[in-house]
């Protein structure tokens, strides 16, 4: 595959944009080589500036669940656009959207729209702190909740000491209020809560992690978290920016049958346009301005065009209950194909899948948290990624990300994905044996 125009654009981009990208993971740093610049997309297919076609297994990191340029969404957005893009005043569409979300997501009695997943999680934490009048939060190593200061924190020196920043520009002052614990480890949570009695405002987690690669929470872990939070007056927040409306219509909370006090949403909720949301119990949400004392605002929050794209997407998912089942069937066909390939080749890499999210970890260790995910061979993954890219399959450019399947994927696409996976596994090991 030649990528002359992508190469040229990347050189130009680096002149004007830090690293040539508007979000770091797009720069292909952990897989090597240069990013391809996408010109257009349709259904399950991306087309880069050089005309190369790829089957898309990222789908904009989740939002494009119905596939790219889905005609009913395009039409709805067009019709909304001719009435102007933004008013900065309340609109009917925002009410429809809020009602639909409250109807769909079990934990949400009231919801506030924002413009990204980061804004959603930042605001949810602030609301939880305002509601409980407590400062500290617990997160889990390997979970990513956007780039808000409180979340760019890694475990302190001891597993139970408060955090240290894992980004320049985050102060010790902020980090000291965040405790980062091992995922799926309820004993660590019990100890931390006991050591910080009545000081923890919230526990936040991805119920099915996408951001260390796909790592589902154990159901007992979630049930125990729910019990501890109820007992201790801690706000339990499910960050469903990835899992919302994908794992099931009501998200991972519906899939597991564990109901948080608050939920953060993004990605699918905007149908590809910039939208995030946070919501939960009315008594918590009524702490948010202009009702309560927790300030949060946004010029383009509830933007009519973004609401139209998101609402149309959610409406289609809600009105076609079998659609997610069909999507999961497509995704399981891919999963079965990959697992068969591993068996045929005598490889015992770890394949984690929940519905239409999955990750192939290049390690023989079952992956249940960040430590086990980190045993993966990232050099092998890089070669695996490049083989896919050169053979028309677009994977997430990091071992520590999840793939997202779209409803638009065809049987031919699935067949090709399974074949390229097989050939890639052969290729990277041949290379490894000859090196
Ligand atoms: P945004 O601010 O990127 O819209 O959302 C932040 C966020 C919050 N919570 C979860 C569970 C998320 O997965 C994300 C964003 N996910 C990444 C994928 N690893 C977005 C890709 C990127 O950073 O470019």
CB distance 240 to ligand 1 below 6 Å: no
Q: Which residue has the higher pLDDT, 137 or 1?
A: 137
| Nearest CA owner, ligand 1 atom 9 | 145
Report residue 18 as tokens: 């830090």
144 as an active site residue: the answer is: yes
Peptide bond into 346 cis (omega under 30): no
CA separation for the pair 168, 338 (Å, rounded)? 39
Report the relative pairing of strands 235-239 and 200-205 from DSSP bridges: parallel
136 pLDDT higher than 90: yes
| Res 164: pLDDT | 84
| Res 358: pLDDT | 98
Which residues contact residue 121 at a Cβ distance below 8 angstroms, ignoring those fewer than 6 apart?
Answer: 145, 146, 148, 151, 204, 237, 239, 241, 264, 278
What pLDDT, in 10s, does the model give residues 181-207?
A: 999 999 999 999 999 999 999 999 999
Confirm whether 4-69+321-434 and 71-319 share one CATH topology. no
30, 57, 118, 124: residue to mutate for ligand 1 pocket, most atoms within 8 A of CB:
118
Catalytic residue, candidates 267, 278, 387, 413 = 267
b/e sequence 138-164, b meaning 16+ C-beta within 10 Å: bbbbbbbbbbbbbbbbebbeeeeebbb
50 pLDDT higher than 70: yes
CB distance 146 to ligand 1 below 6 Å: yes
CB distance 63 to ligand 1 below 6 Å: no
CB distance 61 to ligand 1 below 6 Å: yes
435 pLDDT higher than 60: no
27, 244, 266: residue to mutate for ligand 1 pocket, most atoms within 8 A of CB:
266
| Res 340: pLDDT | 98
CA of 254 to the centre of ligand 1 (A): 21
**Partners of 200 in the β-ladder:** 136
| Nearest CA owner, ligand 1 atom 15 | 146
SS3 content of the chain, % helix, strand, coil (to 5): 40, 20, 40
CA of 376 to the centre of ligand 1 (A): 22
Residue 394's pLDDT band, with cuts at 50, 70 and 90, is very high
b/e sequence 39-75, b meaning 16+ C-beta within 10 Å: eebebbbbbbbbebebbbbbbbbbbbbbbbebeebee
CA separation for the pair 403, 352 (Å, rounded)? 11
What pLDDT, in 10s, does the model give residues 250-276?
A: 999 999 999 999 999 999 999 999 999
CATH for the stretch 4-69+321-434: 3.90.1150.10
SS3 (DSSP) at 148: coil
CB distance 48 to ligand 1 below 6 Å: no
255 as an active site residue: the answer is: no
CA separation for the pair 409, 117 (Å, rounded)? 26
Report residue 421 as tokens: 């996976």
Catalytic residue, candidates 54, 70, 131, 144 = 144
CA of 430 to the centre of ligand 1 (A): 35
Residue spans of the domains in the chain: they are 4-69+321-434, 71-319
What pLDDT, in 10s, does the model give residues 365-384?
A: 999 999 999 999 999 999 99
Beta strands in 146-293 (DSSP E): 153-154, 164-165, 178-181, 200-205, 208-209, 215-216, 235-239, 262-265, 276-280
177 as an active site residue: the answer is: no
CATH for the stretch 71-319: 3.40.640.10
């Amino acid at each position: 595959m030649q990528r002359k125009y992508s190469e040229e654009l990347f050189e130009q981009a680096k002149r004007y944009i830090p690293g040539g990208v508007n979000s770091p993971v797009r720069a292909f740093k952990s897989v090597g080589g240069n990013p391809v610049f996408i010109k257009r997309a349709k259904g399950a297919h991306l087309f880069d500036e050089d005309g190369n076609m790829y089957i898309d297994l990222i789908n904009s990191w989740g939002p494009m669940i119905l596939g790219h340029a889905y005609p009913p969404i395009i039409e709805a957005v067009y019709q909304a656009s001719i009435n102007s893009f933004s008013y900065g005043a309340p609109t009917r569409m925002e009410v429809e959207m809020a009602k639909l979300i409250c109807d769909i997501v079990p934990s949400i009695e009231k919801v506030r729209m924002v413009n990204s997943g980061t804004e959603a999680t930042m605001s949810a934490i602030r609301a939880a702190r305002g509601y409980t009048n407590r400062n500290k939060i617990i997160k889990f190593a390997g979970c990513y909740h956007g780039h808000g200061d409180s979340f760019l924190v890694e475990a302190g020196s001891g597993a139970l000491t408060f955090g240290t920043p894992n980004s320049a520009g985050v102060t010790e002052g902020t980090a000291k209020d965040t405790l980062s614990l091992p995922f799926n480890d309820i004993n660590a949570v019990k100890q931390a809560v006991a050591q910080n009695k009545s000081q923890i405002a919230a526990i936040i987690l991805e119920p099915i992690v996408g951001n260390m690669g796909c790592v589902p929470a154990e159901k007992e872990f979630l049930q125990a978290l729910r019990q501890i939070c109820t007992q201790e007056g801690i706000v339990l927040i499910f960050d469903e920016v990835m899992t919302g409306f994908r794992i099931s219509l009501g998200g991972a909370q519906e899939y597991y049958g564990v109901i948080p006090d608050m939920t953060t949403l993004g990605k699918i909720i905007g149908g590809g346009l910039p939208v995030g949301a946070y919501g939960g119990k009315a008594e918590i949400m009524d702490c948010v301005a202009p009702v309560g004392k927790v300030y949060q605002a946004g010029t383009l929050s509830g933007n009519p065009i973004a609401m139209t794209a998101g609402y149309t997407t959610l409406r289609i998912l809600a009105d076609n209950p079998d659609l997610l089942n069909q999507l999961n069937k497509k995704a399981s066909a891919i999963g079965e194909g990959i697992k068969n390939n591993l068996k045929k080749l005598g490889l015992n890499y770890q394949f984690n899948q929940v519905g239409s999210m999955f990750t192939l970890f290049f390690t023989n260790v079952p992956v249940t948290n960040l430590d086990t995910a980190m045993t993966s061979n990232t050099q092998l993954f890089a070669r695996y990624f490049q083989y896919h890219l050169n053979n028309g399959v677009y994977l997430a450019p990091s071992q520590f990300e999840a793939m997202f399947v779209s409803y638009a994927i065809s049987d031919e696409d699935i067949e090709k994905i399974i074949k390229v996976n097989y050939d890639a596994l052969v290729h990277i090991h041949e290379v490894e044996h000859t090196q």
